[in-house]
Amino acid sequence: MFRHQKQLQFEVKVERPDPMLARQIQEILGGQFGEMTVMMQYLFQGFNCRGEEKYKDMLMDIGTEEIGHVEMLCSLISQLMDGASPAAQAEAAKDPAMAAIMGGINPQHLIVSGLGALPTSSTGVPWSGAYIVASGNLLADMRSNLHAESQGRLQVARLYHMTTDEGVRATLRKMLARDRYHQYQWMAAIAELEEKNGVVVPASFPAEAELEAQPQAYAFWNLSEGVESASGPWAAGNAPDGSGEFVYIDEPLPEGQAPVAKVPAPELHHDLDSSKVLINK
Amino acid sequence: MFRHQKQLQFEVKVERPDPMLARQIQEILGGQFGEMTVMMQYLFQGFNCRGEEKYKDMLMDIGTEEIGHVEMLCSLISQLMDGASPAAQAEAAKDPAMAAIMGGINPQHLIVSGLGALPTSSTGVPWSGAYIVASGNLLADMRSNLHAESQGRLQVARLYHMTTDEGVRATLRKMLARDRYHQYQWMAAIAELEEKNGVVVPASFPAEAELEAQPQAYAFWNLSEGVESASGPWAAGNAPDGSGEFVYIDEPLPEGQAPVAKVPAPELHHDLDSSKVLINK
Amino acid sequence: MFRHQKQLQFEVKVERPDPMLARQIQEILGGQFGEMTVMMQYLFQGFNCRGEEKYKDMLMDIGTEEIGHVEMLCSLISQLMDGASPAAQAEAAKDPAMAAIMGGINPQHLIVSGLGALPTSSTGVPWSGAYIVASGNLLADMRSNLHAESQGRLQVARLYHMTTDEGVRATLRKMLARDRYHQYQWMAAIAELEEKNGVVVPASFPAEAELEAQPQAYAFWNLSEGVESASGPWAAGNAPDGSGEFVYIDEPLPEGQAPVAKVPAPELHHDLDSSKVLINK
Amino acid sequence: MFRHQKQLQFEVKVERPDPMLARQIQEILGGQFGEMTVMMQYLFQGFNCRGEEKYKDMLMDIGTEEIGHVEMLCSLISQLMDGASPAAQAEAAKDPAMAAIMGGINPQHLIVSGLGALPTSSTGVPWSGAYIVASGNLLADMRSNLHAESQGRLQVARLYHMTTDEGVRATLRKMLARDRYHQYQWMAAIAELEEKNGVVVPASFPAEAELEAQPQAYAFWNLSEGVESASGPWAAGNAPDGSGEFVYIDEPLPEGQAPVAKVPAPELHHDLDSSKVLINK
Amino acid sequence: MFRHQKQLQFEVKVERPDPMLARQIQEILGGQFGEMTVMMQYLFQGFNCRGEEKYKDMLMDIGTEEIGHVEMLCSLISQLMDGASPAAQAEAAKDPAMAAIMGGINPQHLIVSGLGALPTSSTGVPWSGAYIVASGNLLADMRSNLHAESQGRLQVARLYHMTTDEGVRATLRKMLARDRYHQYQWMAAIAELEEKNGVVVPASFPAEAELEAQPQAYAFWNLSEGVESASGPWAAGNAPDGSGEFVYIDEPLPEGQAPVAKVPAPELHHDLDSSKVLINK
Amino acid sequence: MFRHQKQLQFEVKVERPDPMLARQIQEILGGQFGEMTVMMQYLFQGFNCRGEEKYKDMLMDIGTEEIGHVEMLCSLISQLMDGASPAAQAEAAKDPAMAAIMGGINPQHLIVSGLGALPTSSTGVPWSGAYIVASGNLLADMRSNLHAESQGRLQVARLYHMTTDEGVRATLRKMLARDRYHQYQWMAAIAELEEKNGVVVPASFPAEAELEAQPQAYAFWNLSEGVESASGPWAAGNAPDGSGEFVYIDEPLPEGQAPVAKVPAPELHHDLDSSKVLINK
């Protein structure tokens, strides 16, 4: 069960309204790597957790924090929209200079939400449950979390330069700091899990079982012209878990057959010959 | 520019058709972490790459390999659907035992694709461009790639147990082995990048710039009842890059204000009072 | 079966083309609460209706009217796009003042539809069948209809202020008037249905059957800090159907257990311990 | 800011696992009217609220409660999936009787989430931000909320009959009771708002401004053959707010023009004549 | 403006309910090539038509007919669901033979629509505005229409074999016959348009303008191993409009450069070097 | 299996960056008829092909070519974004003339992809697997391919006029030329298939089987007021395959019944009467 406190986790104050920035900020609220994503991802991972209590508790701690980040960004967007009005839009249409601004506004901020935040990205695409994952495998999910925080902090960093409003920037700095910590957090959890089970997900499907396929597990297939890729750490040396040595296959050959599919039943109407299907009426 | 060879990368042969399994296999072809996802993700990262040539070349190598994995799974699904027919479906409706099988088939395999693979998940949801990311930041993207291969290998491992068809299993073992290598590959690339720039994405947004927010970067907020989360490596000790020490805030207090939003212009019709908006006709 | 008459239900004439307004008008055509939504919602409710003939007939009357509203908005958008051209776009790119206008245009109005209306919202998101509902329960559906007309008229009212074109405004006034009537209409139907069956949906699931849970049906859980919510009509007094009295629970306590999920079968590869799954090859 | 308590709001215990029911329960978690919808809808309405404090506080109370309902349903689904395994699926494929059950399972519960709840509907469609609305107009939004709770309780009532598991039913009864209260709650809020501003949304767009269109606001257009619709309360008598009298137009005639669209610029390539566009190279 | 007649265009009567068939029939109602698609596609093409009156009128004729086809399929699905109930589902769960049937039902037919048709495909994916096109170019759109009717009739033909219910088959035969006519219709229109303007869309972009690229317009690039493709009519002989002769390039070479992208501004945080971005606070 | 060559199929060089054009170009990369669509459509048709080898080989040739077109457009978009930066955006917000440009940029080109191409349309909607079809019926699919190339070339032609950059135009001319050839190619394949099997899809469902419905196959239903549609080649004369003569039905009458749906089981809670459902607890 959850409870809500009136105060925001951090202060959110803007220097001046800026509807075009409001549209851009939507990306880190309702985009692929916005706060709605990490909130729902951590909550679902926590709700579904079948592992040790410390992981479940930790996921609930951070998932709960992220609900508050959604709240903060909604407040930020509302403040950036303050004072905007449909009538100003009509006025602006007469004046190119103002129309410029208007052209950059998300029309749904006026028409649909009445100056409120939307559950959508910066291009107006609705947030989707397909953005998140809760697989039940802790290491796989922690890696998902680390990637989400990495993409998320990157986007906040880019947005930071897109405004000179020091109020907005102060909020973004708080988020950059939290996203730094959250990267640390997932790295620490990942290190612990890799230590325990090994680095390959899932650890419980043994390499031995891939036996006949085993050489595949160390071979780089050079399928794009040029051998620049041969100079990376994935092309030579030991696998991260020391289980084997990488091989660079310079001129790889296919190992499978040229597939030939069977002709289907006539009721599927592929029309591969010109006879008619007998229709029993 | 690309070229195609007739032979599959690995052999794909099934022992017997199994339409219900065909529906399940769709997950690793057109689902969130299916082969279409890694194929498009690596290709877009490669096409957009503005970094060192070895990364671009490597992304193109593996992206090109993944097109061939999509091809292999299409062949696998076609073979699993061999011999299925609409008429059998009508027959089956009379016999519960057969209807059982039919109920588990994806109806689009009969009606839409005529026994071919579909660009959709195991529940029939079309593949979406929203599954992938190519951010331009190499470390962020490599972490995305590692997470995708982790989720992907996990799903293949689960599917492995959902069939006893040794033909199918042989193909899945090849994919498990490749997914093992691809995890190794991204780990190696990540290690190199972290070595060079540091572990936080993006490295170029300096911690100093978060100065006033700095304590945030080491603090765990305990927002879910209980302190089990205090016993993890994220709650005490040094950050992975040694830049500071973690703090566990047992009873965190909000640091922001209780937000109060301004009343909007009357043309937004929030109806906050009962007077009418003046309509100038 | 349906028939079409050439004339529009109401006159649609614009004073001057305005491509930026055309983009905004798309919201009330193909957005969440656009005319496509009410058209398809009423038609599906009518087609599926298993109730009294007067409801089915009424749903068909208004659903049929709404097809004509889609037609009117398509005509409106076409007129607002009149004279726009790709070449003008190229010219505009040289002149910031004109580029302003161009930046605010939906590029698909030029590239995809050739100046025609699109089945999408103001941000270009395609209309979705997920916007509508036809549940078979008349009261539930009439409430959906009242809500759709309320959101719809609100959006038209906001758009009204976003233009000074008296031709466009005349069309919008017609739509505001019809949306007013449609709100009246659903209110009247709702009142009749509530009178007959009671105000709770579905009426046929009896309150007695919730017996042990009964106190839940009158209790407000104060889960957000502060007691401002205690002063509303939902916090004290009788339920609208007089069946009980509201209770405000100031400091609610959870009544359930702390859930503990079972460890899954090893074939699910949660990796909760470090042993390998036995793979029977 | 939010906090989490370990205990669920209400007890969730199932008598026996039932993966097919788990798939069906997904509808009221991640479907159009599932708990994710009311949770996100109330939270966004609360976060964006620019009205009286009592409304904002109330929205936060109930939005916060709904996060806990998502948590309860995740626990319910996890318990219904307990003990399921990929290997059982393979076994079942041999036995039609068991395959029956397997055919009815959501394959993603095994492959993607490892027995956990998914952010999707009963057919596996991901939850979408397009399901919710927060318009800023309190009356419009409260009507949306009443409709959502009506559809939601209807779905729970139907699901109640789809199982005989008394553990599941006990949880559903709690939800039926809460959904009953929530319908009361929105009715009470609606009554208060209608009392204050009038029944038409938005109240602030005055009927007088629709002046020339005014007769439209009381006219039922009989556009579907038959006059059964004439016997409803929408066809005769006074409007709910007493502002006018309904008129039934038995044989309505269109009032607009037959639209004729202008021929577009040649650069749009409508190919309305056979001459070529001059391409300036 | 539109009008509705109570009678269906053709008779719709089923011999016996069949919920599993109801789920499959959804494909031709709300799937990619279902009746909702042709209905909306023809209506939007008609509404947006800027061409000769005879085309607009024809599009409105057939678009209006298709609304009636949606109506027919809704009636068909309702009849196939007749008598189904949630309680039967609970009973069935005890009996594998009956569970078989239940596993094949779309759960939303019970939970969401209460036995009515849904605006979704056979896998439950909501209909999307992205399925249709109305480009303004008549020839391009008529080709779209011909393709839609081809895919549509193919799907109906496949469904025909999936049932032995002669009532259902009678309705499907009517649809097969109409889809045959509609294919004839678009072929006739296409022939007329090709006669007038030429066969390439758009005709108004002249071949001369592609001058330097001209050889490209007759060259087949053999990019997949093997030369089986050389034996088709696209590899040798004259173009359909006699404007040139096809060339088969057996071993094509790329004609472009190896692209090298510029390093971006540091504010984009690609982290291509290890220096920090200067953050002006 | 596939291989990649470093050089692009054709040269891609722009004269000057143009972020607004980059946004528009996205339509022909990731929109409904963009290069991602034809690439995935041809590849899936090729992978699933159960017909003659020459068709499979041809589909693989052209599908492989289209991967290279995606590559070319990614390079084009990257070059058009060259030099753009988040900081310029912040500067621009102060100057209407520059803000104009900024308002027309896709914010995700800065925030999400860091100047790279996105797998989305010009309005930012992610590419969808629902855009493509591979039905197994060769004639149906070739018609889909012809329609896709027609819509695609139309969009490229329109875009051609939206820029004066001769570098961009040179690339577009190459694509116009290839799209011309591809239209020729599908026309040639279609002619061969129609010659072999007849013009109606699917050919194998015989006209005789529609016997009782037969007149339907030649009748035009005039359901939109006016008889302009009577003057087209679909209204009189012979069907394209000479199998019958068209009939224009000036005043068509419905041939079906007025549908009356049965009242459902009480557990579906349609609330058609006021009695309660008996809940067995």
- C197, C231, C260 - which closes a domain: C197
Shortest Cα–Cα distance, F97 to chain E (Å): 22
- Judged by average pLDDT, the poorest of A66-80, A123-137, B86-100 is B86-100
pLDDT range class, residue C176, cuts 50, 70, 90: very high
CB B8 within 8 A of CB A256: yes
Percentage, residues of chain C above pLDDT 70: 94
Residue window 24-83, chain C: list those with CB within 8 Å of chain E: 30, 36, 40, 43-44, 47-48, 50, 60-61, 63-65, 67-68, 70-71, 74-75, 78
Select from D275, E212, C85 the least CA-distant residue to F161: C85
CB F273 within 8 A of CB C202: no
Shortest Cα–Cα distance, C49 to chain D (Å): 14
The answer to whether position A12 is within a domain reads no
The answer to whether position F143 is within a domain reads yes
With beta carbons under 8 A apart, name residues in chain B contacting C279: 160
Hey, are the CB atoms on B54 and A232 less than 8 Å from each other? yes
Residue window 85-114, chain F: list those with CB within 8 Å of chain B: 112-114
Hey, are the CB atoms on A70 and D43 less than 8 Å from each other? yes
Give D4's strand partners.
A2, B224
- Residue pLDDT, tens place only, E79-120: 999 988 888 777 776 666 666 667 789 999 999 999 999 999
Q: Is B4 helix (H, G, I), strand (E, B) or coil?
A: strand
The answer to whether position E220 is within a domain reads yes
Query: Residue A267 is nearest to which of E158, E166, E279, comparing CB atoms?
Result: E158
Q: Residues 6 or more apart from F228 whose CB is under 8 A from it?
A: E53, E54, E56, E57, E58
The answer to whether position E12 is within a domain reads no
C-alpha to C-alpha distances, A242 to A190, A198, A238, A239, B184, nearest whole angstrom: 18, 11, 5, 5, 10
Rg of chain C over Cα atoms, rounded to whole angstroms, equals 26
pLDDT at F116 over 70: yes
Hey, are the CB atoms on B169 and C268 less than 8 Å from each other? no
Residue window 111-130, chain F: list those with CB within 8 Å of chain C: 121-125
Which of the residues C44, C59, C64, C80 would you substitute to probe the E interface, choosing the one with the greatest number of E C-beta atoms within 10 Å? C44
pLDDT range class, residue B113, cuts 50, 70, 90: very high
Q: Are residues B184 and B212 in the same domain?
A: no
Q: Give me the pLDDT at residue A208, please.
A: 85
Give B254's strand partners.
none
User: Which range marks the domain in which residue F78 is found?
Assistant: 19-197
Which of the residues B91, B94, B101, B204 would you substitute to probe the E interface, choosing the one with the greatest number of E C-beta atoms within 10 Å? B204
Q: Does A279 touch chain E (CB under 8 A)?
A: yes
Shortest Cα–Cα distance, A192 to chain D (Å): 22
Select from D57, D69, D29, D63 the least CA-distant residue to D44: D63
- B197, B231, B266 - which closes a domain: B197
Hey, are the CB atoms on C97 and F97 less than 8 Å from each other? yes
With beta carbons under 8 A apart, name residues in chain E contacting D97: 96-97
With beta carbons under 8 A apart, name residues in chain C contacting B260: none
d(CA D21, CA D16) in angstroms, rounded, equals: 11
Quick one: closest CA in C to F272, which residue? C51
Q: Are residues E56 and E115 in the same domain?
A: yes
DSSP H helices in E198-207: none
Query: Residue F4 is nearest to which of A161, A223, A263, comparing CB atoms?
Result: A223
Hey, are the CB atoms on B128 and F132 less than 8 Å from each other? no
Q: Are residues A238 and A122 in the same domain?
A: no
Assign 3-state DSSP to chain E and report helix, strand, coil percentages, each to 5.
55, 5, 40
Select from C86, C132, C87 the least CA-distant residue to C109: C86
b/e for E128-167, b at 16 or more Cβ within 10 A? bbbbbbbbbbbbbbbbbbbbbbbbbbbbbbbbbbbbebeb
Q: Residues 6 or more apart from E280 whose CB is under 8 A from it?
A: none
Q: Are residues C48 and C184 in the same domain?
A: yes
Q: Give me the pLDDT at residue A206, please.
A: 87
- Judged by average pLDDT, the poorest of B199-213, B238-252, C7-21, E69-83 is B199-213
Hey, are the CB atoms on C1 and E71 less than 8 Å from each other? yes
Quick one: closest CA in F to E149, which residue? F201
Select from C85, C109, D265, C78 the least CA-distant residue to E204: D265
Query: Residue E268 is nearest to which of F115, F144, F213, comparing CB atoms?
Result: F115
Q: Give me the pLDDT at residue D101, please.
A: 66
- Residue pLDDT, tens place only, E125-174: 999 999 999 999 999 999 999 999 999 999 999 999 999 999 999 999 99
- Residue pLDDT, tens place only, B37-64: 999 999 999 999 998 889 999 999 999 9
What single string gives the DSSP state of each residue in B216-247? GGGEEE--BSSSGGGGSTTSSSB-TTSS-B-E
pLDDT at B207 over 90: no
d(CA D59, CA D53) in angstroms, rounded, equals: 10
Q: Residues 6 or more apart from E95 whose CB is under 8 A from it?
A: none
The pair phi, psi for residue B224, each rounded to 5°, is -115, 130
pLDDT higher at E88 or A19: A19
Q: Give me the pLDDT at residue D175, please.
A: 96
Which of the residues E2, E35, E37, E59 would you substitute to probe the C interface, choosing the one with the greatest number of C C-beta atoms within 10 Å? E2
With beta carbons under 8 A apart, name residues in chain B contacting C259: none
pLDDT range class, residue B182, cuts 50, 70, 90: very high
- D147, D178, D197 - which closes a domain: D197
Q: What is the CB neighbour count within 10 angstroms for residue E204?
A: 25
Hey, are the CB atoms on B169 and C269 less than 8 Å from each other? no
The answer to whether position E116 is within a domain reads yes
Which of the residues F3, F7, F45, F112 would you substitute to probe the A interface, choosing the one with the greatest number of A C-beta atoms within 10 Å? F112
Evaluated on CA atoms E129, E132, E133, E134, the torsion sign reads negative
Hey, are the CB atoms on D111 and B122 less than 8 Å from each other? yes
Query: Residue B224 is nearest to which of A33, A60, A221, comparing CB atoms?
Result: A60
ipTM: 0.95
With beta carbons under 8 A apart, name residues in chain E contacting F135: 151, 154
Q: Does C267 touch chain B (CB under 8 A)?
A: yes
Q: Spell out the SS3 assignment of F74-136.
A: HHHHHHHHCCCCHHHHHHHCCCHHHHHHHHCCCHHHHHCCCCCCCCECCCCCECEHHHCCCCC
Q: How many CA atoms lie within 13 A of C265 on its CB side?
A: 19
Q: Are residues A85 and A175 in the same domain?
A: yes
Q: Are residues D162 and D230 in the same domain?
A: no
Domain count across chain C: 2
Hey, are the CB atoms on D223 and E2 less than 8 Å from each other? yes
Shortest Cα–Cα distance, C235 to chain F (Å): 28
Q: Give me the pLDDT at residue A142, please.
A: 98
Q: What would the two tokens of residue C138 be?
A: 């008349």
The answer to whether position E9 is within a domain reads no
pLDDT at A271 over 70: yes
Residue with tokens 């529009």: C8
- Residue pLDDT, tens place only, D241-265: 999 999 999 999 999 999 999 999 9
Hey, are the CB atoms on A271 and F206 less than 8 Å from each other? no
pLDDT range class, residue D40, cuts 50, 70, 90: very high
Select from D85, D98, F261, A61 the least CA-distant residue to C270: D85
Q: What is the CB neighbour count within 10 angstroms for residue A194?
A: 19
Shortest Cα–Cα distance, A195 to chain F (Å): 33
pLDDT range class, residue F96, cuts 50, 70, 90: low
- Residue pLDDT, tens place only, A225-234: 999 999 999 9
Hey, are the CB atoms on F209 and A100 less than 8 Å from each other? no
CB A205 within 8 A of CB B154: no
With beta carbons under 8 A apart, name residues in chain B contacting F112: 133, 135
Select from A193, A138, B170 the least CA-distant residue to C269: A138
Q: Are residues B107 and B212 in the same domain?
A: no
Hey, are the CB atoms on B107 and E100 less than 8 Å from each other? no
The pair phi, psi for residue A124, each rounded to 5°, is 85, 10
Residue window 133-172, chain F: list those with CB within 8 Å of chain C: 155, 158-164
The pair phi, psi for residue E12, each rounded to 5°, is -130, 105
d(CA D68, CA D11) in angstroms, rounded, equals: 12
The chains in contact with chain A, meaning 3 or more Cβ pairs closer than 8 Å, are: B, C, D, E, F
Query: For residue F166, what is the domain's CATH number?
Result: 1.20.1260.10
- Residue pLDDT, tens place only, C191-225: 999 999 999 999 999 888 886 666 778 999 999 99
Burial degree of D146 (CB within 10 A; 0-12, 13-18, 19+):
buried
Q: Are residues E61 and E131 in the same domain?
A: yes
b/e for A233-251, b at 16 or more Cβ within 10 A? bbbeeebbbebbebbbeee
Q: Are residues B46 and B184 in the same domain?
A: yes
Hey, are the CB atoms on B271 and D1 less than 8 Å from each other? no
Q: Give me the pLDDT at residue C104, please.
A: 84
The answer to whether position E1 is within a domain reads no
pLDDT range class, residue D207, cuts 50, 70, 90: confident
Mean pLDDT of the A5-28 span: 96
Select from D275, F158, E53, E67 the least CA-distant residue to C113: F158
The answer to whether position B6 is within a domain reads no
Mean pLDDT of the B110-132 span: 98
Shortest Cα–Cα distance, C190 to chain A (Å): 26
Hey, are the CB atoms on F267 and D158 less than 8 Å from each other? yes
Q: What would the two tokens of residue E50 be?
A: 């800027």
The pTM for the full model equals 0.96
Residue window 221-260, chain C: list those with CB within 8 Å of chain F: none
d(CA C228, CA C231) in angstroms, rounded, equals: 6
pLDDT at F102 over 80: no
Q: Are residues E147 and E44 in the same domain?
A: yes
Which of the residues E270, E273, E274, E277 would you substitute to probe the B interface, choosing the one with the greatest number of B C-beta atoms within 10 Å? E270
Q: Are residues B245 and B169 in the same domain?
A: no
Q: What would the two tokens of residue B33 be?
A: 């972490």
Q: Are residues C210 and C179 in the same domain?
A: no
DSSP H helices in F162-265: 166-197
Rg of chain E over Cα atoms, rounded to whole angstroms, equals 26
With beta carbons under 8 A apart, name residues in chain C contacting A84: none
With beta carbons under 8 A apart, name residues in chain F contacting B68: 1-2
pLDDT at F38 over 60: yes
